[in-house]
Structure 1
Amino acid sequence: MRAFIFPGQGSQTVGMGKAMAEASRAARDVLEEVDEALGQKLSALMAEGPLDTLTLTENAQPAIMANAIATLRASGLDVAEKADFVAGHSLGEYSALCAAGAFDLATTARLLRLRGQAMQAAVPVGEGAMAALLGASLEVAQAVAEAAAQGQVCTVANDNDPSQVVISGHRTAIERALDIAKEKGARRAVLLPVSAPFHCPLMQPAADAMADALAGAALASPAVPVYANVTAAPAGQPDEIRELLVRQVTGMVRWRESVVALWEAGVTQYVELGGKVLGPMVKRIAPDATVISVVTPDDVDALVREI
């Protein structure tokens, strides 16, 4: 069995999508449609930068999705025919839903622009932070967050793989967690260069904004089940998907558990579209899995030959 998987924020790079658009009319069509939906030349920002503007949450989120869907459509592969499941990391869940036909491309782009804006606006700059705990299990990370909170918000945001967990919350709590993590046995604890504390209760205003936006967004049943971040389980009904996407804004990204669940469901091949971020995580979670990362036109050709 096979899953198509889609990367999240942090995978953006200047030049993304450029070679794919030059090689594929289908990829160009994706970027042009996203530009039109947003009323912005996002494709030019993706191709030329500058990086600090591309990295702004409101730009990075639709850009990463557009790159992933352009890569998929350049392949010409039918998701319903070639994938048994889809999944994505954080914003990548929207890419997965778009790939599976639950959202159309323009709707996905507009939702991610709003999501990025709402997440950035939820917490004043400088008040929140995130940190990666390396060489720490989920249980250790939860203990670190609990000890560091001291009346503030400090929670696990991303359970990425057995050796990498991300925490999120008030900046002073996260800074306390850096020292506590080392005391509890983490190999390293590093602040992440992010502009807001994603996937924690401080994001509630953004969750409220997404609840309103999703309530009015056209959403169909996906062609294949989508593994949801907050449950690490497949979802297929529109109302359920809406609810899970709202919960995802403040909830933990259960990526490690999602891959475990996919593996236990019989998925042995994982195809990452538009990035090389999730593939290494998958291998650390399921060492016997086959991972294909698809970034370049040559990768697309290899994927088509492979599957």
Structure 2
Amino acid sequence: MRAFIFPGQGSQKVGMGADLAAASPHARELFEEVDDALGQKLFALMKDGPADELMLTENAQPAIMALSLAVLRVLEKEGGVKLADVAGCVAGHSLGEYSALCAAGAIPLGETARLLKLRGQAMQRAVPVGEGAMAALLGADVAKAEDLAEAAEAEGEICTVANDNDPTQVVISGHKGAIERAVAMVKDDKERWGIKRGVLLPVSAPFHCPLMQPAAEAMEKALADTAITAPDVPLFANVTAEATSNPDVIRTLLVDQVTGRVRWRESVAAMHDAGAEYFVEIGGKVVGPMVGRIAPDAQVLSVQGMDDIEALIKGI
């Protein structure tokens, strides 16, 4: 069984999608559809920058989704390969869950773009700039990260596990003071915590922690008005690491995901246990390497450009 997986924030960069658009009219068509849905020239920003504007959460989220769906559009229109025919399940890392649902036919492209624009804006507004932070803990598992996060919390501060990415990397999120304290604690006593290194991440808000509750409320309101249909293949959801095809459950999980933990390691393991032996990352080269560390015996292909698309077609 193949699992199609989709990257989250952090995979954006100036120039993204430019080569694909130059090579394929179908990719250009999709980027134009996203631009029309948003009423902005997002693809021009993806292609030419400036980088600081592309890095804004409200732009980065729909941009990453647009690249993933452009890859799929080319795969379908030029390769004759439809996701529903070749994939047994889908999953996405954080915002990638929206890409996965769009790819599987659960949410239309324009609506997905608008939801991600709103999601990015709501996440940015939820916490004033400078009050929150995130850090990657390298060489950490969840138990070690939870112990560190609990020790780093001070009265009135939040420090919690946000992303369980793979057996070697966990991300924590919360108040800036608590996150910086956690990083310093690792540096001062690696042996005690059993963590190699803590690295502050260049993000504008503390995602996937209780501080995002205002954003969750905004998404709950938006998703209540969104038509969601059953995906063509099951979605392995971030917050449960379990498969679902129920539109009402999916709507609830997308709200819970804003403040909840991204259980990526468990999700990949669950897909592998369900029979996924071949993982295809669409639109990035971020979550594919994580799969290699979670399920070393699985085959992984990351697909971004025409050469990658041709390699995938040959392998199907």
Q: What TM-score, normalized to structure 1?
A: 0.99
The yes-or-no answer on 1:163 pairing with 2:156 is no
Match for residue 42 of structure 1? 42
Gaps of 5+ in 2: none
Match for residue 159 of structure 2? 154
Share of identical aligned residues, percent?
Answer: 67
**Displacement, 1:296?**
1.0
**Displacement, 1:28?**
1.2
Assess if the C-alpha contact under 8 Å between 1:147 and 1:180 holds in 2: no
Gaps of 5+ in 1: none
Task: Supply the AA of the counterpart residue of 2:167.
Answer: P
Looking at structure 1, the residues matched to 143 and 198 of structure 2 have their Cα atoms a distance apart, in angstroms, of 15
Pairing 1:1-307 to 2, within 5 Å after superposition: 1-76=1-76, 77-151=81-155, 152-181=157-186, 182=190, 183-307=192-316
CA displacement, residues 245-298 of structure 1 (integer Å, 9 cap, x when unaligned): 000000000000000001100101000011000111000000011001101111
Looking at structure 2, the residues matched to 279 and 297 of structure 1 have their Cα atoms a distance apart, in angstroms, of 18
Which stretch shifts more, 293-302 or 160-169? 293-302
Looking at structure 1, the residues matched to 38 and 239 of structure 2 have their Cα atoms a distance apart, in angstroms, of 28
Looking at structure 1, the residues matched to 149 and 26 of structure 2 have their Cα atoms a distance apart, in angstroms, of 45
Figure out how many residues of one structure are paired with residues of the other and give that number.
Answer: 307
Task: Supply the AA of the counterpart residue of 2:104.
Answer: A
Looking at structure 1, the residues matched to 29 and 4 of structure 2 have their Cα atoms a distance apart, in angstroms, of 21
RMSD between superposed Cα atoms in Å: 0.7
Looking at structure 1, the residues matched to 2 and 307 of structure 2 have their Cα atoms a distance apart, in angstroms, of 21
Looking at structure 1, the residues matched to 236 and 112 of structure 2 have their Cα atoms a distance apart, in angstroms, of 17
**Displacement, 1:25?**
2.0
CA displacement, residues 178-203 of structure 1 (integer Å, 9 cap, x when unaligned): 13333412100010000000000000
Looking at structure 1, the residues matched to 250 and 33 of structure 2 have their Cα atoms a distance apart, in angstroms, of 24
Task: Supply the AA of the counterpart residue of 2:139.
Answer: G
Looking at structure 2, the residues matched to 21 and 102 of structure 1 have their Cα atoms a distance apart, in angstroms, of 25
Assess if the C-alpha contact under 8 Å between 1:178 and 1:190 holds in 2: yes
Which stretch shifts more, 125-134 or 76-85? 76-85
